[in-house]
Amino acid sequence: MIKVTLIVLGKLKESYLRDACAEYEKRLSAFCKLDVVELNPVKLPDNPSDAQINDALEKESAEILRRIPQSSKVYSLCIEGKMLSSEKLSEEISLSAVSGSGNITFIIGSSFGLSAKVKQRSDVRLSMSPMTFPHQLARVMLFEQIYRAFQIMSGGKYHK
């Protein structure tokens, strides 16, 4: 069974977002072994300088990189990433499953993004959309797309 690791910075504050994620985690259990790793973002002042932001991203990157499972294909969510259709994401996950690695890691950084080190470690830089969404909604959106990808692979009707 393929292992999917989701490394995220920050906890979900709203109960409706936690409920949505819990539902997708339950649904995904039929398709993969799922591991959600919540890391604490570095606390920054209200109006941080660029240097403070870069320092925080570097500190966060050390913990992120340490948590990536060995031989995992890594997808980092970032603004400059490429957009994939649901079908293409399904193909990517399927290829990882049959290629022997069987491990996929998705990384959602803090609201300030990810360090260059994390992006360099990534096999794919992925963007959800050119639109801006609340940071905490990204986790729900990613769970939904991972679930949709597995439904597509299994020939389910959910994705249509």
Q: Is residue 158 part of a domain?
A: no
Q: Please return the burial class of 44, using the count of CB atoms within 10 Å of its CB with bins 0-12, 13-18 and 19+.
A: middle
Q: Is residue 160 part of a domain?
A: no
The domain of 62 spans 3-153
Q: Please return the burial class of 35, using the count of CB atoms within 10 Å of its CB with bins 0-12, 13-18 and 19+.
A: middle
Backbone angles phi, psi at 105, to 5 degrees: -125, 130
pLDDT at 40: 95
Q: Is residue 142 part of a domain?
A: yes
pLDDT at 100: 66
Minimal CA–CA distance to 73: which of 3, 146, 143, 147? 3
How is the chain split among helix, strand and coil, in percent rounded to 5? 40, 20, 35
Q: Is residue 115 part of a domain?
A: yes
Give the pTM.
Answer: 0.94
CATH code of the domain containing 149: 3.40.1280.10
Query: What domain count does the chain have?
Result: 1
Q: Is residue 10 part of a domain?
A: yes
pLDDT at 78: 93
Tens of pLDDT, residue by residue, the chain (160 residues): 899 999 999 999 999 999 999 999 999 999 999 999 999 999 999 999 999 999 999 999 999 999 999 889 999 999 999 999 999 999 999 988 777 668 999 999 998 999 999 999 999 999 999 888 888 899 999 999 999 999 999 988 765 6
pLDDT at 95: 86
